A and B are shown apart, each in its own frame.
Chain A
Amino acid sequence: MTRLLVKGIGVAGAFGTGVESFQNALAEGRVTVGSIDVATGEGVQTVPAYRADTAGLEEFVPKRALRRVDHYSKLALLGSYLALKDAEMLGADLGRIGLVIASGYGATATTYAFLDSLISGGDNCASPTHFANSVHNAAAANVAITLGIRGPSLTVSQFDMSVPSALVSARQWLAEGRVDAVLFGAIDEVSELVAYLQHRRCGPRHAVSMVPFDAGSESSIIGEGAAFLVLTRDEGGPAYCGIDSVATGNIFGGELSLPDDALLLLGADGRSELARRYLDAVPAGGKAACYTPLYGCMPAAAAFDLAAAALALKSGRAFASPAGPSLFAPGKGDVSRICSLRLAGPSEYATVVMSC
């Protein structure tokens, strides 16, 4: 399998904007959780949520050029610029670069806004601008247009498996020489719809902090943000780390095969129905970590896992899990290989193995 390198990272989330903010949050193990107000049958309710700010985008794009760009696409643009800048590729020829974006739910706020225009204005007042921006690939289109990326572009929406699934194809593009680099990213946004669904699922008493290792309780908190990576084939040169393998699919019976020499980075995110599957996946004596309490519960979080793993591998030291019980709270330890594990439903799985 073709090994890839992570050449650049661009992240925005509740922890702030950029690699440095992310690294600080990982080191401190703490992030301030925000909230969103949402209309419900019992009046306006406040739902805890990890919120991301896109003000940092003004450093890169004039406000005028963003007049039709929604929050979902702004997150993608911000992640893209940060990752390319980090890889020192801003301003370079982006002709042979591919663009791959993963999103679990797409532009949910604009999707809702389009429905709103239809419902409030009537069938002949549907907003074409909202419609055009509500398609899942609107973010990729806005990134391609703004940055002038003319290579292939792919948007994948596989709910919780969006990120690893998209990574399979990104890797193939590089393996086949279709492109020389892939701008790979994931985005999800906190919208009224997502918050309302969370409220119906978990409210009215919401968790105030995520405890992903506690299989007995529901503690998910919705999150939003963008995590982008610049990926190339492993042809040497400076990089955060390498990506050795990507595997994803369904297990119908049988066991998950996991490397025994890697730190397991669990995607557990406080959803009670998945917690047990995650904990059971850790072999006896195995080492595991989980950083989701720093960015929240969202399909795109899988890309934050990859970014966190890349930072840990670059420094050679794992970050302590922010909310681990004694069993899995690894002290800061040396690390040279990390396996990011994501699970969904009764049978879906994904592993991404990364190393120095």
Chain B
Amino acid sequence: MTTWPVAITGLGCICAAGGTVPECLDSLYAGRRAPAHPTRFVSSHPTPFPVFEVRDYREPPELLRTSALAVQAAREAFADAGFSPEELRGLRVGVCVGTTVGSALNDEGFCRAHRAGEEPDLFPMERILNSNPAAVIARAFKCSGPCQTVVNACASGTDAVGLAASWIRGGICDVTIAGGADELGRITYHGFISLMITDDSPCKPFDRDRKGLNLGEGAGMLVLESEQVRVRRGARARSFVMGYGSACDAYHLTAPQPDGVGLRQAVAEALSCCAVAADQVSFVNAHGTGTPDNDRVESRVLAELFPGVPYHSTKGYTGHTLGAAGGIEAVFTVACLERGLIPASAGFENADPELAGEPLRSNREVAGGFALSQSLAFGGSNSVLLFGKGDAA
């Protein structure tokens, strides 16, 4: 399979690491992170687990927090790309957003009341039905193109960006806003605790003593643009989507295939799109959740496919933001590639003798032209994006 590159002209991000892309990068390069016990909800679980909440952000009452976060990141991304609302209205703009909770009919208060034999107010359900993340962005920016909310669990954001690039190449849209968004709440918090893959201390991706992930929340969005529109506008490409690969383990609902069969296939596909060789890749933003299984499989595949290539996990700064993770990490990968500097893998201290390699211990300058971001999900989905360096600033 051969495809051509698609330009990225704008980035937006809101997560625990910061409210904008520059704020997030500052935190990453400074090694700042602040996981803490949840403040937005209470739990009667005997063990408190740290999470990465977005502080100082309140969603409007009529929207799910997930979708409000998505709009916030999209606004930054459109502004970064230099698009005014009027300009967008004259173009075919598509929306492709990954999420996990953003479209589930999942409201605890409503369920509780219904179970108790009450007739609960329908507002929480109506809010969900009005909050499909892609549809909310389309309404907010009057996007006329296709709307797609991708629900591929923790790979959703990565898939959304890969699909968006394909829509541009296929001539379906002039511009696509793509990424991921997810809020943190009691349901996912207790769901992940029940799977026993959360760490009761700050997460330690790839570390010998890693015990699991910390959940986070946020949104990461990218503006992808056709060359025709970009050249006409004279907009600078911050980066290019060079490749996208996705493959299924077909193995288990919650455990990754131990040899990383699907991940290998996804990497191979992403590299093949523009015929980039593995040794041209200058760094990898790994999924690196901090769970024993994920990090074992991932480090094994990285060591075999990308020997000597530096890799890091940014989940130590953001927590695992689920459907948003692929979007946020795509934004980070692009921004780090552009700047030529990658942050240390937060939370990593002691090398695990069972793992083949180790992630970056300190910030490192990189010179190369390509970087990879990978996501592994529930259900055995593996998705990989390959980014190429954009125009000089």
Contact = CB atoms under 8 A, between A and B. Distances in A.
In the complex, are there CB atoms of A and B closer than 8 Å?
A: yes
Interface of A: 39-42, 68, 99, 105-106, 108, 111-112, 114-116, 118-119, 122-124, 126-128, 131-138, 140-142, 144-145, 147-159, 161, 165-166, 168-169, 171-173, 175-178, 193-194, 196-197, 200, 248-252, 345, 348
Interface in B122-143: 122, 125, 129, 132, 134-135, 138-139, 142-143
Interface of B: 1, 3, 43-46, 89, 92, 94, 100, 103-106, 108, 111-112, 114-115, 117-119, 122, 125, 129, 132, 134-135, 138-139, 142-153, 159, 163, 166-167, 169-170, 172, 186-187, 190-196, 245-254, 261-262, 265, 269, 377-381, 383
Contacts of A142: 253
Contacts of B246: 152-154
A13 B216 CA distance: 39
A132 B378 contact: yes
Contact of B105 (A68, A150, A193): A193
Given A126-B191, A133-B253, A249 B108 contact: no
Given A39-B117, A150-B249, A165 B148 contact: yes
A153 B381 contact: yes
Contacts of B265: 150
Given A111-B105, A116-B115, A152-B248, A158 B148 contact: yes
Given A41-B118, A149-B248, A159-B129, A114 B187 contact: yes
B166 A172 contact: yes
B182 to A, nearest CB: 12
A46 B186 CA distance: 32
18 contacts: A115-B187, A118-B190, A123-B45, A126-B191, A126-B194, A136-B100, A136-B104, A137-B152, A141-B381, A150-B248, A150-B250, A151-B248, A154-B159, A159-B132, A169-B166, A249-B138, A249-B143, A345-B135
Contacts of A112: 111
A249 B147 CA distance: 6
Nearest to A124: B45
B152 A155 contact: yes
A159 B103 contact: yes
A355 B242 CA distance: 35
A138 B191 CA distance: 15
B195 A131 contact: yes
B172 A123 contact: no
B127 to A, nearest CB: 13
Given A39-B117, A249-B145, A136 B187 contact: no
Contacts of A161: 135, 147
Nearest to A159: B132
A122 B163 contact: no
A44 to B, nearest CB: 11
Most chain A beta carbons < 10 A, residue from B117, B153, B192, B248: B248
A137 B379 contact: yes
Given A154-B163, A161-B147, A135 B138 contact: no
A131 B119 contact: no
A136 B61 CA distance: 25
Given A106-B151, A137-B153, A141-B381, 5 more contacts: A108-B105, A123-B186, A132-B195, A132-B254, A249-B145
Contacts of A135: 100, 151, 153, 378-379
B379 A144 contact: yes
A106 B104 contact: yes
A144 B250 contact: yes
Q: Which 5 A-B pairs have the closest CB atoms?
A: A141-B379, A41-B119, A136-B151, A131-B191, A152-B246
Nearest to B171: A1
Contacts of A106: 103-105, 151
A105 B142 contact: no
Contacts of B167: 168-169, 172
Given A150-B265, A176-B169, A145 B250 contact: yes
Contacts of B190: 118, 123, 126
B152 A154 contact: yes
B38 to A, nearest CB: 12
B253 A145 contact: yes
Contacts of B253: 68, 132-133, 138, 141-142, 145
Given A115-B108, A145-B251, A153-B379, A177 B163 contact: no
Contacts of A249: 92, 94, 138, 143-147
A128 B146 contact: no
A252 to B, nearest CB: 5
B146 A122 contact: no
Given A39-B117, A41-B119, A134-B104, A158 B149 contact: yes
Contact of A153 (B94, B119, B172, B248): B248
A141 B380 contact: yes
Q: Which of A122, A126, A153, A345 has the most CB of B within 10 A?
A: A153
A35 B119 CA distance: 21
Given A123-B190, A145-B250, A152-B247, A250 B105 contact: no
A39 B245 CA distance: 46
Contacts of A196: 114
A158 B1 contact: no
A149 B148 contact: no
A99 B246 CA distance: 11
Given A161-B147, A168-B172, A128 B250 contact: no
Nearest to A68: B253
Highest count of chain B CB atoms <10 Å: which of A122, A124, A137, A194: A137
A139 to B, nearest CB: 9
Contact of A156 (B100, B148, B192): B148
B58 to A, nearest CB: 25
B191 A159 contact: no
Contacts of B134: 158
A127 to B, nearest CB: 7
Contacts of A39: 114, 117
A200 B151 contact: no
A136 B103 contact: yes
B359 to A, nearest CB: 27
Contact of A252 (B111, B114, B142, B247): B142
